[in-house]
């Protein structure tokens, strides 16, 4: 049996609009009425986000003063993973077809995400994805989990998954962040980095994934081809 463990945000869900709407809100809330601020386009903002420019620096680039930028960054962090902003998420292009293709090929699918239970449930329901990820194939944070850093928390989820899931011939981790690659490498799982998420290729190259692909479709196709 071949297994794919996939991150949710990035490979399956496009979160760029959620992050941009929170950016717009926080910029408006932390600027004064007659202050000259520059509002970034979505493309400009997302490029900065994917290259890991700090939130405070983005605020200053937009014309906020130091203290304003600090508040902007803090508010952004508190807001981005809350309702109603999850409503802005959409399915990544081709993600459902890729999951269907993997399922039809009898690949065992699991999802591993830094979302909390309620946040993952919301998305699985919204996008009708329960068919791919039954309860025993979902690895996420409990609703009351105290987060540290994704790069520390995600390897703990991977450890739990590998203990609980049935043995497999090969396991692949598909993700868009350094946390995904780190979790895979720490536990001897093959890592595939997708370039459609919240990190650009330059940021992920330092973590040396086994392969880069554009999206989940290419990841599934690569894995299937590997076992022909």
Residue ranges of the domains in the chain? Answer: 2-15+90-226, 16-87
Place 162 in a pLDDT band, splitting at 50, 70 and 90.
very high
CA torsion 163-195-90-143 (nearest 10°) is 30
pLDDT (0 to 100) of residue 9: 98
Average pLDDT over residues 22-48: 97
pLDDT digits (tens, 9 = 90+) for 91-129: 999 999 999 999 999 999 999 999 999 999 999 999 999
How long, in residues, is the chain? 228
Q: State pTM to two decimals.
A: 0.96
CATH 3.40.50.1000 for the 2-15+90-226 domain, yes or no: yes
Place 66 in a pLDDT band, splitting at 50, 70 and 90.
very high
Q: What are the phi and psi torsion angles at 91 (to 5°)? A: -70, 140
* Summary mean pLDDT of the chain: 97
Place 201 in a pLDDT band, splitting at 50, 70 and 90.
very high
């Amino acid at each position: 049996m071949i297994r794919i463990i996939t991150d949710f945000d990035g490979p399956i869900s496009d979160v760029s609009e959620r992050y941009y709407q929170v950016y717009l809100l926080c910029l408006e809330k932390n600027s004064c009425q007659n202050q000259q601020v520059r509002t970034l386009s979505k493309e400009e903002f997302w490029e900065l986000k994917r290259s890991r420019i700090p939130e405070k620096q983005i605020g200053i680039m937009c014309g906020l003063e130091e203290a304003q930028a600090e508040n902007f960054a803090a508010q952004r962090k508190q807001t981005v993973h809350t309702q109603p902003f999850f409503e802005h998420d959409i399915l990544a292009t081709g993600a459902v077809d890729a999951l269907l293709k993997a399922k039809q090929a009898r690949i065992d699918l699991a999802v591993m995400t830094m979302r909390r239970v309620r946040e993952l449930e919301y998305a699985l329901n919204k996008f009708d994805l329960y068919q791919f990820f039954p309860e025993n194939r979902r690895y996420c944070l409990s609703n009351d989990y105290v987060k540290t850093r994704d790069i520390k928390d995600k390897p703990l989820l991977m450890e739990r998954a590998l203990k609980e899931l049935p043995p497999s011939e090969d396991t692949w981790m598909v993700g868009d962040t350094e946390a995904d690659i780190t979790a895979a490498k720490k536990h001897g799982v093959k890592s595939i980095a997708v370039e459609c998420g919240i990190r650009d290729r330059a940021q992920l190259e330092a973590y040396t994934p086994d392969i880069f692909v554009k999206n989940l479709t290419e990841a599934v196709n690569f894995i299937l081809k590997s076992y022909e």
